[in-house]
Structure 1
Amino acid sequence: MPQLNRRFRAAALTVATGLTLAGLSVTGSGATAAPAAGGEPVSTPVPISTPDGVVSAYLLNAKHANPGQTRLVERAVAKAGGVVVQTWPQIGVVVAHSDRAAFRADVQAYAGNALESVGATRTVPVTEGTPAGVQAPWGPGKGQVRKSQSSPQHDDTETTLAAADPREAEQWDMQMIKADQAHQITDGSRDVVVGVLDSGIDPDHPDLAANIDVADSVNCSNAGRPDTSPTGWYPTTSDHGTHVAGTIGAARNGVGIVGVAPNVRMASVKVVNDDGFIYPEYAVCGFVWAGAHGMDVTNNSYYVDPFEFYCEDQPDQYAAKEAVRRAVAWSTDQGVVHAAAAGNSSHDLADKSSFLDEGSPDDGTPVTRTLNSGCQDIPTELPGVVTVSSLERFPAGTLESRLSGFSNRGLGVIDVAAPGSRILSTIVNGNGYGLKSGTSMASPHVAGVLALMKSVHPDWTPAQMVAKLRAQADDHACGTSTAGDPCVGTATDNSYYGEGVLDALDAVS
């Protein structure tokens, strides 16, 4: 089995590396970075070079998220020699490209107090091209009209028990989280939509095709601008999203496997480019799209490239993190609840001083970095996001568990734990099935349970759902692990399991 891919948070996945930009040099930046907290040392600087004549990508955050200030930022982009690629006035974020070395400093000067921060989003030149002209600010329409959250539960949430799908008996993970018992109550509602922010979903896989919400699927890897072309959201170089989707919602249809929520719909929100990178502007597009299109849940089995940890005392990283934070917060306000993989680096996320980040930036020349508490893995450590650690079956052949050796952990960071080692799910090759391991595989179990929860409690808010998910998890003491860091905490809340093992049955009971 190939080594764990930390960016995607799954094993058995091989992607091409990005371009390499050697000899990074300090350049001007108008971004405002937050100082290190509590007298902590600053994080290791990683300046991003943006030389003249090379197109670089930027995120700009208006001081206030309103159309007026966002337009001022757009005008400043043009004056500074840039092109506005995409505007998100809901959150006051602008995506821009420029081939001017002084773009960051110039745009800050032109925007003045209207601009809160600006930062480059990658250490390599833009490869996908620059779309011509700015897209008009998001207007009213289908995407912003959410279905009623107080409507009665539809009859289609009731399950008529059918014969087991052929490989259902192999899904120990579903038994561990009691999804098989939850299905005796409901398989989920067709009203519920899960946005799979990932590498795309196989459109004709027999276990997935009937449950794909084609109308709300989108490709966000086109410079962070929504591409609604009919095939844009299809997988191209990775089956990661297809595997994730199978765990969430493979149909109960007498074929293959069964997902956690086999009757809900899934929208393919492609945030991964063909080189395997998820840049900040892609994630921003994905979260805003999910909120604007009335989705109920998103799954996020990745970290945002090119930094495994975004440090608030570094100007470029601060601006990118702020843009993603705004997108997550806005979509949550629209009623979307988010699940995310904790990561595969065996780190204690509660103590950033206990390890070095040796793989960032991953699209260029990595720098061994000292971190501080202002450095966060995004989106999983952003407020309101459910952070999921990975479990393996131990002892073998039982439904007992221990923390997967690769899984990140952290007291007060991990919310719940779910199966993530050797998970059977759908793959693109031959419309078949395969095993993958990673916190990537743990997170979709949580997304599926949140979808079941929303099916039976359509009026619950994201905050209510997260609180219930945590409270309903089955308490689990630290136990044994192959992990390097010792487990700390109590049987009801610890660094390995968080509040406990995910429980699908309680979510629908």
Structure 2
Amino acid sequence: MHRSIRRSALCAGLAAGIALAGTLPAIAAPSGTTAGTSPTALPSAAQAGSQNYLVLYKSGGRAAGKSLAAIAKAGGTLVQDYSAIGVAVVRSAASDFSSKLRAADPSVDAASSTASFGVALKGDADSAAAADPIKPPTPAPGADTLSGLQWDMDQMKAPEARAISGGSTSVVVGDIDTGLDWSHPDLAPNVDFSKSVSCVDGIQNTDPSAWMDDNGHGTHTAGTIAAAKNGVGIVGVAPNVKLAGIKAGNAEGFFFPEAVVCSFMWAAENGIQVTNNSYFVDPWLYNCKNDPDQRAIWEAERRAIRYAQSKGTTVVAAAGNESDDLSHPVYDQTSPDNTTPVTRDITNACAVVPTEIPGVVAVSATGNKGLKSFYSSYGLGVVDVAAPGGDSRQVTASAVNGRVLSTYPSALMNACLRKVVDASGATYCYLQGTSMASPHVAGLAALIVSSGVTSPGAVAARIANTADATACPTDMSLYAGVPGNNSEQPQTCTGGTGNNSFYGKGQVNALAAIGG
């Protein structure tokens, strides 16, 4: 089990997580869909000993002319070129490829191997030219068969909001995750096959079998965003909007940087208005800009996210499950989490990606009692808002195990510790984590975009300004014995009502956000 999946979606207690399953059996694409492949195929260099590199160019531009010659001279082959952000993915078996390329091409700022940088489960740019007009949102009142178990939706006033607006079918949310189970009956009505893709290898593959969820995490987050109001199971925050499965994580839960860059470029270039990001960069929980390799990863993803934002994409991300104060990092003792962790001192030059990338809406998690979840990371000036993510320590009559119920692939139900099967046979799982909080806010962003507010900055402002201002807890006993995973210091809430380290501007309120 990959440790960051455990940090990103906690199934039970402090240490339990998603139990990973094997790859799903092949499933035929539904009729009427077109399977496609990226225009750039993996080069023949993809063999034992070769690995991918992210190449950053100093002033943007593309890997052309002399740059291509330098890549070849250094022993590399171009895999993907993102000229809009000055980033290229190159494959090479040469152990000294990075140094050779920098020596051969002075326009190269950095070239870092991504082999050990798995991304795991874990100022606003002006919007580009207006996209197609958004169809008016339509109401989605009432309940489905399992709505009574959705305390999380009640807590953010989602049922009241969707009685007014369930979102517009013109709005698409890209769930950058482990894919989604497009055959699930609560998701199938809303899946946009034309805007779904797999980026797992850093190359865009639109074949539906390629972006089918083989982990479960992506299907769970997708249901929270936009499970259909169809008389089956649960209802998402925005049940009328469309879902694009953007698969960046594989069955083991690794999201490599080239996959994440690919995902944001896809979102930017396919008119996807919102993305949910319930993961963060590993094996370094904190990516330090003063480290050449880690800085390259940080900068490549920053450029890709910034580009998506410039095209009108609102980016929402989970704060993480380390119980850490992200505004005051001291040291990192959990990284690298794919080998043997080594404690290292860190400063504010080190950041959690994508949560701490400028312009990203960072979300902490709350439980059914409205308190910050015991595991959720936090930070004054880092967390923007809080949303229901579940908390096994906040069990109430309406939240019998404290966790969030959402869609889950039937083929992976053995991996779910707390499961529910609808009378129709549709399958659902209870999970907790900031991974579960983030999609609540992504769904809310979709409702706001459906109302005609499309600039990412304006969407983020609406989310924050309509949140229910929440004061720091007066009783901190919930967090007793749960220090920061890295600081090992007691959790502390700083700031005042409406702007503090636990809740940011407050807990999101869907009804207020749509003007109800």
TM-score by length of 1: 0.82
Q: Equivalents in 1 of 2:60, 2:117: separation in Å?
A: 29
Aligned residue number for residue 115 of structure 2: 122
Deviations 1:74-127 (A, max 9, x none): 332211001211111111101112111211110001111x111111223389xx
Q: Equivalents in 2 of 1:150, 1:295: separation in Å?
A: 12
1:359 Cα deviation after fit: 2.3
Q: Verify the 8 A CA contact 1:473 1:502 in the aligned structure 2.
A: yes
Give the alignment of 1:258-269 within 5 angstroms: 258-269=235-246
Aligned residue number for residue 182 of structure 1: 161
Aligned residue number for residue 436 of structure 1: 431
One-letter amino acid matched to 1:104: S
1:150 Cα deviation after fit: 7.5
The secondary structure found in structure 1 opposite 2:98 is: helix
1:386 equivalenced with 2:350 (yes/no)? no
Q: Equivalents in 2 of 1:432, 1:311: separation in Å?
A: 41
Q: Verify the 8 A CA contact 2:3 2:337 in the aligned structure 1.
A: no
The secondary structure found in structure 1 opposite 2:442 is: helix
Aligned residue number for residue 19 of structure 2: 14
Q: Verify the 8 A CA contact 2:82 2:88 in the aligned structure 1.
A: yes
Q: Equivalents in 2 of 1:453, 1:219: separation in Å?
A: 27
Give the alignment of 1:466-505 within 5 angstroms: 466-479=460-473, 480-481=475-476, 482-483=478-479, 484-505=490-511
Q: Equivalents in 2 of 1:273, 1:335: separation in Å?
A: 27
TM-score by length of 2: 0.81
1:452 Cα deviation after fit: 0.2
One-letter amino acid matched to 1:232: A
Q: Equivalents in 2 of 1:78, 1:308: separation in Å?
A: 33
Q: Equivalents in 1 of 2:3, 2:356: separation in Å?
A: 24
Q: Verify the 8 A CA contact 1:9 1:341 in the aligned structure 2.
A: no
Q: Verify the 8 A CA contact 1:165 1:258 in the aligned structure 2.
A: yes
1:245 Cα deviation after fit: 0.3
Q: Equivalents in 1 of 2:81, 2:312: separation in Å?
A: 22
Q: Verify the 8 A CA contact 1:283 1:304 in the aligned structure 2.
A: no
1:8 Cα deviation after fit: 3.7
Q: Verify the 8 A CA contact 2:140 2:240 in the aligned structure 1.
A: no
Aligned residues: 439
Deviations 1:2-56 (A, max 9, x none): 9983454443412489xxxxxxxxxxxxxxxxxxxxxxxxxxxxxxxxxx98223
Q: Equivalents in 2 of 1:178, 1:311: separation in Å?
A: 39
Deviations 1:305-357 (A, max 9, x none): 2221110111110111110000000000000000000000000000012xx32
Q: Equivalents in 1 of 2:4, 2:83: separation in Å?
A: 38
1:377 equivalenced with 2:372 (yes/no)? no
Moved more, 357-366 or 206-215: 357-366
Deviations 1:254-306 (A, max 9, x none): 00000000000010000002321011111100111000000000000001222
Q: Equivalents in 1 of 2:343, 2:410: separation in Å?
A: 37
Aligned residue number for residue 420 of structure 2: none
Among 206, 211, 214, the alignment partner of 1:228 is 206
One-letter amino acid matched to 1:344: N
Q: Equivalents in 2 of 1:111, 1:3: separation in Å?
A: 38
Contiguous gaps of at least 5 residues in structure 1 = 18-51, 126-145, 395-400
One-letter amino acid matched to 2:269: A
Q: Equivalents in 2 of 1:149, 1:227: separation in Å?
A: 24
Identical counterparts, % of pairs: 42
Contiguous gaps of at least 5 residues in structure 2 = 12-16, 23-46, 119-127, 391-402, 412-425, 480-489
Q: Equivalents in 2 of 1:327, 1:474: separation in Å?
A: 32
Give the alignment of 1:45-444 within 5 angstroms: 54-67=49-62, 72-112=66-106, 114-123=107-116, 148-149=130-131, 151=133, 154-155=135-136, 157-159=137-139, 161=141, 163-222=142-201, 224-236=202-214, 238-353=215-330, 356-394=331-369, 401-421=370-390, 422-429=403-410, 431-444=426-439
The secondary structure found in structure 1 opposite 2:255 is: coil
Pairwise CA RMSD = 2.3
Q: Equivalents in 2 of 1:287, 1:64: separation in Å?
A: 20
Q: Equivalents in 2 of 1:275, 1:154: separation in Å?
A: 39
One-letter amino acid matched to 1:351: H
Deviations 1:52-83 (A, max 9, x none): 9822321111111223x655433322110012
